[in-house]
Structure 1
Amino acid sequence: MARMNVALQELGHAMPNYKRATLQDEEGPEPAGDGSASPDSVEVGFRKGPGTLLSRLASRSQLELVLCAVAVSLALLLSVAVVTLAIQYRRGMPSLPDPSHSTCLTDACVRVASKILEALDTEMDPCQDFYQYSCGGWIKRNPLPNGRSKWSTFNSIWDQNQAIMKHLLENATFNSSSEAERKTQRYYLSCLKEQRIEELGSQPLMELIEKIGGWNITGSWNQTSFMEVLKSVSGTYRATPFFTVYVGADSKSSNSNIIQVDQSGLFLPSRDYYLNKTANERVLAAYLDYMVELGTLLGGTPEPTRLQMQQVLDFETQLANITVPQAERRDDEKIYHKMSIAELQLLAPAIDWLDYLSYALAPLELADTEPVVVYGDTYLQQVSDLINDTDRSILNNYLIWNLVQKTASSLDQRFETAQERLLETLYGTRKSCTPRWQTCISNTDDTLGFALGSLFVKATFDRDSKAIAEEMISEIRAAFEVSLDQLDWMDEKTRQAAKEKADAIYDMIGFPDFILDNKELDDVYDGYEVSEDSFFQNMLNFYNFSAKVMADQLRKPPNRDQWSMTPQTVNAYYLPTKNGIVFPAGILQAPFYARNHPKALNFGGIGVVMGHELTHAFDDQGREYDKEGNLRPWWQNSSLEAFKNRTACMTEQYGRYTVHSEKVNGRQTLGENIADNGGLKAAYNAYKSWLQKNGEEKRLPALGLTNHQLFFVGFAQVWCSVRTPESSHEGLVTDPHSPDKYRVIGTLSNSRDFVEHFGCPLGSPMNPGKHCEVW
């Protein structure tokens, strides 16, 4: 029933960008790019992989000890804060509320007030720079850890989740639990066996290359045909040279699965790294050095390897030149092309498509009449020409390089060290201090994430949170629909259809039910063999397993209850073909949500996240899908034109923002910016409705903030972060989300409610006078 959850984990970075819309970029191991559009995950996102997951916590008990120590310091800090409140700087803010209003002095209120106060920069006028005002203290207290290119609230929560999972995997006996959970432990332990991995060295991958037909880089290529190597590298081992193939819901017939093909094939995170050679000279040099080092570690001699790897890099540059930028792929209707395999063969004849797809989806029987959805027909036509015009030895080197880059992280320390050198140039990271266990937790999450999620949920998730979250979603949905009635630019027919779509949005919270049923969980991973002694083989087995699971879905309808994020993930997403929103257990914790926090903070945190995902149903891409999840026109022309005019305002607004003199791409980030703005408005209106029903809340001590102001501060502090200049550049060219600073400044400067509650004068940076508003 739920086996496709596994396939979606593996397929994640192969699915096109528009298929999911997430709260934050869902980043994979650095370097994460395969050149294809990674899911807009698709990303909560944060970096999860070698060299990036550093934690100060080794176990859950350590976390508890830290919290005990923090409690004492918080109490001291609070007492100081109360004394100094009268002289706190509140430039540009309205008078403080009537002190006769009651103040919350519970332990939870004291702790969260202290944490908020620590993060603030009270020397900054909130009407000048609300991000600095809200996050200046946090930034000062959070220097970038070694081995990290970015550090944020999301990273911090993920580190805590990892520490919990480590404790569970290393201390549980699994005597009465599922076989899937035992597989999870065996996989994790195989990753921890560094001595065994070092003993094997490069041998496992070298043997695999020989099995496929050899590599011209090492002089072992036995002239195996191009198609045979492509089928092995891509079909069996799930690498994505030239293109990516997967099975998923048909955008125009969301109740059926279909084969889908999209552009892919680049190792660096974006085509920009290949084509803008002047700006990325150091990255390209470091990438070539990395290619050469891995080639020599696998048996190549230095000079011939450098010559041939330069040819591979030149070939990738040609691929980059025909790859369509993500900012130009935002109209789903335009990039959707349904055809038969026979028609695909005529479009891109360099590939024997029936042979390839029959192999990749074995044991299914396919005919050349089988329908396929192609995203980027022009790209596939051009890549076919490129293949025909390229020497077969270069194609062999490129194909095997795709396999090498996908599997090398499972080899010995020499390969990890080579990767770290590339990361330092690409992302600005310094030598990683990541403990091995943390890398192995991430690998286990990527492979057996739902079985690991079973352990995580049973140990940590408060079941009452699910009911509370469902109630909040209902309140935010209601607030969004009230806003629809107030839109003067939308005609009545389109408005009614929009309400029906909002009503039909399907929400999934915490975790999928099957993970708590041992039999169902075991069925999901049935057929996946895991040994405690061979980490590399476990990884290969998973690629084979996920390919079979994917093929098994083609003749079945999509499962509405299937998840494509694991429960422990610190993220959320909207899937247009299901018209569904998902909030994993991993994000249902502070600072996003806590049962004992003021409602102002919960609405400003997880409430905005919920509003964000709900609004994705009506962003520039989500709005193309109807309430059933089908890609079809349902807007009246007058409303569509008005919508485009309003989104143009937002494209222009965010396009003016810069990071290190480099502009934000207002078109690439449009969908996420619409969701940020709509999510904030819906959550704030829902909070006001809650206050009307329940009355005013007690204020937090020491802050001097009304609860309305607290809502906006809570929203802003979710996005406090620091990152290297190199990582900032990577985000600007690849991420569909705006930089964290502008997710705060851009959204709040469009909010009339924010301007009112902070008393920002007209013409100030946070109240420029022009408010871009869509929903």
Structure 2
Amino acid sequence: MTRVQDDLFATVNADWLKEAQIPADKPRISAFDELVLKNEKNLAHDLTELSKNLPTDNPELLEAIKFYNKAGDWEKREQADFSAVKAELAKVETLQSFKDFQENLSQLILHSQTSVPFSFSVEPDMKDAIHYSLGFSGPGLLLPDTSYYDEKHPRKKELLDFWTKNTAEILARFEVENAEEIAQNSVKFDELLVPSANTSEEWAKYAELYHPIATDSFVSEITNLNFKSLINDLVKTEPDKIIVYEDRFYENFDSLVNEENWSLIKAWMLTKVARRATSFLTEDLRILGGAYGRFLSNVQEARSQEKHQLDLTESYFSQVIGLFYGQKYFGEAAKADVKRMVAAMIKVYQERLRKNDWLSQETAEKAIEKLDAITPFIGFPDKLPEIYRRLKTTSGSLYEDAVKFDEILTARTFEKFSEDVDKTTWHMPAHMVNAYYSPDSNTIVFPAAILQAPFYSLDQSSSQNYGGIGAVIAHEISHAFDNNGAQFDKEGNLNKWWLDKDYEAFEEKQKEMIELFDGIETEAGPANGKLIVSENIADQGGITAALTAAKEEDDVDLKAFFSQWAKIWRMKASTEFQQMLLSMDVHAPAKLRANIPPTNLEEFYETFDVKETDQMYRAPEKRLKIW
């Protein structure tokens, strides 16, 4: 039998770990996933009931229900003749040369079904957060991240072999000639991209990816494609600058995207069209199209037709469904209580910053200014983004609707470039079991779906709620002061507001956090301290601030606090899925999230009488404190 003093995670979650079963259609089960399963069941029931009595007074929800019904009409889906997909494939197949590709480039991008071997995105400008910038990066890789392409990686060959065979089968279903060769050529092009792709560690340090290049210089450096004309076609103007997020890809662009590689590029494009289409067609193709993803994470079964129907609808109408969910399931009493907890967390942070012993007063005051400027969003948004008014189901097939919706969404992406940023926009629907901090708007967002037990409940004690949602709230606040968020000012701009000596001290603490986790062995392999440092800073800040707030309540119970903290991180997952997370997820493995932050808090030792001989013990001089 385990003891808290040796393993908080295993002790608190002992019964759950023994009894919990990973669903056959998922790679893991966790406290988050349990709420997801509950929400899926409720929403499937709700949307089915709405299908019987269409909500004519809510046009956006009405369109979502129409699409939901079409996604679940398997009789019609089984009758699909694939002609619409073949028409999309023909748009690539008719490109006989690299010159044809050049001449049709803007049409290919705006049509959006055809992936091209680079990406333009429209995002808030990191240094001018009220305006959008045009970003440039590579197209992404077939395997989860660059580490999977190392010859020593045990899964490289089996994954690429599976992807190639699976893709060839999909192409053959659409009667594409030379399906095996096309799949193989797609993999060849993918391997060419690997040296120029950002590593997961590089992506994790997103504040360092901001590399603005004057548009004239940007377009003159790339000679194989007319990017000057393309950019104008996309955003209807010539921006002052382009933000390059993947430097090596930009520097090597002409050696990758060129006449010599055209046959490989064309094959890669064909496979993208074919694989995407499988989600909207017959049951057989749906199962085939998802086979690689299941193999990657060792998932035993495909999603049921009912869950798939909901998944597709959420993929296009997420905020519509979220608003419906929030209005139905989230009460005003809970919203008021969570608002109170947010205010308490911010007050705690103010005090901690004022009493901080390693920051100068000048930097601490600016940090408090940023803290005071944080805007919390709780439950669900007041309004839907305008784009949902444009999504109208048609008399065509499910796939044809998806193609049309993708065109509309792509057009909207580039249309935003000429607008000011709306900082009230939610980037997560209310039915998603998650939360986030947005550095460009200095907002923290807590969707209704996470405001349930074990994270939060009016029936839980204050200590339990602080150990759950309180720590999550403070975690998101902490992101404003992690290694990325700390580089943005109170207005959301990438801007140096620290004194040099203070930031140097902060960088030393970042190094300590990296060392605290780096190389710790888990059942799936060692943790990468550099990849997970931002989330670990936020976890430590979160539990520390939440603990301070919990101690101010009359009914404080620190055993309940720490137990709830461990409970919210409970998780079981396939080894393959855990290995993938270790390579690319910016969060630490669940057991480390539960066990390591408490060991930096004196109250943990006092509460559970942890001694030097216990496995959870950390010497006082090694206990890390940042916020």
Q: What's the secondary structure of 1:722's corresponding residue?
A: strand
Give the counterpart of 1:153 among 17, 31, 34.
Answer: 31
Q: Give 3-state SS (helix, strand or coil) of 1:260's partner.
A: strand
**1:492 & 1:458 partners in 2: Cα distance?**
44
CA contact (8 A) 2:345 2:546 kept: yes
How far apart are residue 457 of structure 1 and its match?
2.1
CA distance in 2, matches of 1:222, 1:408: 27
How many residues are matched? 622
Displacement after TM superposition at 1:494 (Å): 0.8
Change (3 A) 1:228 1:195: farther
Shift of 1:410: 1.6
Q: Which residue of 2 aligns with 1:350?
A: 224
> Amino acid of the residue matched to residue 146 of structure 2?
R
1:480 alignment partner, SS class = helix
Partner of 2:413: 550
- Tell me if 1:214 matches 2:73: no
Separation (CA, whole Å) in 2 of partners of 1:386 and 1:321: 11
Q: Hey, what's the Cα distance between the residues in 1 that align with 2:410 and 2:382?
A: 24
Indicate yes or no: 2:160 matched with 1:254. Answer: no
5 Å matches for 1:76-91? Answer: none
Superposed CA deviations along residues 320-368 of structure 1, whole A, max 9, x for unmatched, are 121121313454554212233322112333332133223334xxx223x
CA contact (8 A) 1:247 1:257 kept: yes
CA positional deviation for 1:380: 1.3
1:473 is aligned to 2:352? no
Determine if the alignment matches structure 1 residue 583 to structure 2 residue 455. no
Change (3 A) 1:224 1:430: farther
Q: Note the alpha carbon deviations across 1:561-602, whole angstroms, 9 max, x for none.
A: 111111111100111011111001111111111112111111
Partner of residue 626, structure 2: 774
**C-alpha distance in structure 2 between counterparts of 1:656 and 1:746, whole Å:** 14
Deviation at 1:164, TM superposition (A): 1.7
C-alpha distance after superposition, 1:231-264 (max 9, x if no partner)? 3443321665433222221110111112122233
TM-score computed with the length of structure 1 as normaliser: 0.77
Aligned to 2:133, the other structure's residue is in SS state: strand
Corresponding residue to 2:461 among 598, 607, 610: 598
Checking the alignment, whether the CA contact within 8 Å between 2:30 and 2:569 is kept in structure 1 is yes
Residue 251 (structure 2) pairs with residue 381 (structure 1): yes
User: Cα distance 1:376–1:222, how it changes in 2: closer, same or farther (>3 A)?
Assistant: closer
> Residue 454 of structure 1: CA displacement?
2.7
Query: Residue 299 of structure 2 aligns with which residue?
Result: 429
Deviation at 1:714, TM superposition (A): 0.5
Which among 17, 27, 38 is matched to residue 139 of structure 1? 17
Q: 2:189 aligns with which of 315, 321, 327?
A: 315
* Shift in CA distance, 708/287, structure 1 to aligned 2, threshold 3 Å: same
Q: What does the per-residue CA deviation read over 1:633-665, in whole Å, with 9 as the maximum and x for residues that have no partner?
A: 111121112111111111111113122362111
5 Å-filtered alignment, 1:117-516, equals 123-172=1-50, 173-210=53-90, 212-214=91-93, 225-228=100-103, 230-237=105-112, 240-276=115-151, 278-280=153-155, 281-301=157-177, 304-332=178-206, 334-361=208-235, 365-367=236-238, 370-388=240-258, 390-432=260-302, 434-515=303-384
Aligned match for 2:494, one of 631, 637, 640 = 631
Shift of 1:715: 1.0
Verify the 8 A CA contact 1:494 1:636 in the aligned structure 2.
Answer: yes
Aligned residue in 2 for 1:96:
none
CA contact (8 A) 2:323 2:429 kept: no
**CA shift digits 1:500-527 (9 cap, x unpaired):** 1111111111111014xxxxx7x54222
Contact 1:611 1:679 in 2 (8 A): yes
Structure 2 gaps of 5+ residues are none
Deviation at 1:163, TM superposition (A): 1.7
**3-state DSSP class of the match of 2:497?**
coil
How big is the alpha-carbon RMSD for the aligned residues of Structure 1 and Structure 2?
A: 2.1
* Match among 543, 546, 569 for residue 719 of structure 1: 569
1:630 is paired with a residue whose SS is coil
Q: Per the alignment, in what secondary structure is the counterpart of residue 389 of structure 2?
A: coil
Structure 1 position 230, deviation (Å): 4.3
* Structure 1 residues 202 and 238: alpha-carbon distance in aligned structure 2, compared to 1, 3 A threshold: closer
**Counterpart residue type for residue 467 of structure 2:** G
Alignment check: 8 A CA contact 1:275 1:320 kept: no
Moved more, 196-205 or 554-563: 196-205
Distance 1:188 1:423, change over 3 A: same
Q: Which amino acid aligns with 1:395?
A: I
In structure 2, C-alpha distance between the alignment counterparts of 1:192 and 1:335, rounded to whole Å: 42
Find the counterpart in structure 2 of residue 753 from structure 1.
Answer: 603
Distance 1:187 1:222 in 2: 38
Q: Which moved more, 1:674-683 or 1:222-231?
A: 222-231
Structure 2 CA distance for aligned equivalents of residues 192 and 532 of structure 1: 15
Q: Distance in 2 between matches of 1:206 and 1:154?
A: 40
Kindly state the Cα deviation for residue 229 of structure 1 after the two structures are TM-superposed.
5.2
- The whole-number CA distance in structure 2 between the counterparts of 1:132 and 1:514 is 43
- 1:752 shift after superposition: 2.0
Q: Is the 8 A contact 2:517 2:527 kept in 1?
A: yes
Residue 73 (structure 1) aligns with: none
Amino acid at match of 1:619: D
Q: Tell me if 1:672 matches 2:548.
A: no
SS in 2 for 1:489: coil
C-alpha displacement at 1:400, in angstroms? Answer: 2.4
Give distance in 1, aligned partners of 2:289 and 2:452. Answer: 33
CA contact (8 A) 2:55 2:61 kept: no
Maintained 8 Å contact 1:238/1:547: no
Contact 1:573 1:583 in 2 (8 A): yes
Q: Deviations over 1:151-207 (max 9, x none)?
A: 111111112112221222111223442111110001111110112112115332112
CA distance in 2, matches of 1:465, 1:242: 47
The letter for the 2-side match of 1:144 is I
Q: Partners of 2:185 and 2:445 in 1: how far apart?
A: 44
Q: 1:154 to 1:696 in 2, by over 3 A?
A: closer
| Change in 2 beyond 3 A, CA 1:238/1:202 | closer
AA in 1 matched with 2:187: L
Residues 126/641 of structure 1: CA separation in 2 closer, same or farther (3 Å cut)? same
Cα contact 1:251–1:629 (8 A) shared by 2: yes
Is the 1:215–1:400 Cα contact (8 Å) retained in structure 2?
no
> 1:709 and 1:144 mapped to 2: Cα distance?
28
Structure 1 partner of 2:615: 765
Matched to 1:639, the amino acid is D
Q: How many percent identity over aligned positions?
A: 23
Distance 2:114 2:598 in 1: 42
Q: Which amino acid aligns with 1:366?
A: T
| Equivalent residues in 2 for 1:61-76, closer than 5 Å | none
Distance 1:505 1:599 in 2: 24
Q: Which runs of 5+ in 1 are unaligned?
A: 1-122, 516-520, 698-706
* C-alpha displacement of 1:532: 6.5
In structure 2, C-alpha distance between the alignment counterparts of 1:726 and 1:215, rounded to whole Å: 39
Instruction: Report the secondary structure of 2:405's partner residue.
Output: helix
Moved more, 181-190 or 643-652: 643-652
Match of 2:398 in 1: 535
Distance (Å, rounded) in 2 between the aligned partners of 1:495 and 1:449: 39
